[in-house]
């Protein structure tokens, strides 16, 4: 019962470096999401995907890129890391059919990223 798996769990980046946060799910979910959570704040949507090959921007997409080549994987790319991207990142997935309208997204454990 792996669910949603994120790697790495922790990472320290220097300003200007790049990295990819990995996310994979084994529940055959159509929808996948990337959220970030800043201290004392709720989760804000960065990007989401409704299926392989289809992605769209969320509330805070600047500085990030995504791709969805398979149903299982949804990596998040930071090209030029900035201190403002210091946050905890959560990947999530949900199952969506016309008749299944519940949006019970399942979350990974999170990646704590620090940019110095």
Partner 1 sequence: DQQVKQNSPSLSVQEGRISILNCDYTNSMFDYFLWYKKYPAEGPTFLISISSIKDKNEDGRFTVFLNKSAKHLSLHIVPSQPGDSAVYFCAANYGGAQKLVFGQGTRLTINP
Question: Contacts with partner 1: how many residues (CB under 8 A)?
Answer: 27
31 binds partner 1 (CB under 8 A): yes
Residue 83, φ and ψ in degrees, nearest 5: -55, -30
For CA atoms 98, 99, 102, 103, the dihedral sign is negative
Interacting span for partner 1 (CB under 8 A) from 18-26, 63-71, 79-87, 99-107: 99-107
Query: Quick one: which of 90, 93, 113, 115 contacts partner 1 (CB under 8 A)?
Result: 90
107 binds partner 1 (CB under 8 A): yes
Where do runs of H (alpha helix) occur along 6-100? none
Structure tokens at 7: 């790697």
Query: Quick one: which of 92, 93, 113, 115 contacts partner 1 (CB under 8 A)?
Result: 92
Alpha carbon distance 62, 46 (integer Å):
8
Nearer Cβ to partner 1, position 14 or 39?
A: 39
């Amino acid at each position: 019962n792996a669910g949603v798996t994120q790697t790495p769990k922790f990472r320290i980046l220097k300003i200007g470096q790049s990295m990819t946060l990995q996310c994979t799910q084994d529940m055959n979910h159509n929808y996948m999401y990337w959220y970030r959570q800043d201290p004392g704040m709720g989760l804000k949507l960065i990007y989401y995907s409704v299926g392989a090959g289809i992605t769209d921007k969320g509330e805070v997409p600047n500085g990030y890129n995504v791709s969805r080549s398979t149903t299982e994987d949804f990596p998040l790319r930071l090209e030029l890391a900035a201190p403002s991207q210091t946050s905890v990142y959560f990947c999530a997935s949900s199952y969506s059919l016309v008749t299944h309208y519940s949006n019970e997204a399942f979350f990974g454990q999170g990646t704590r990223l620090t940019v110095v």
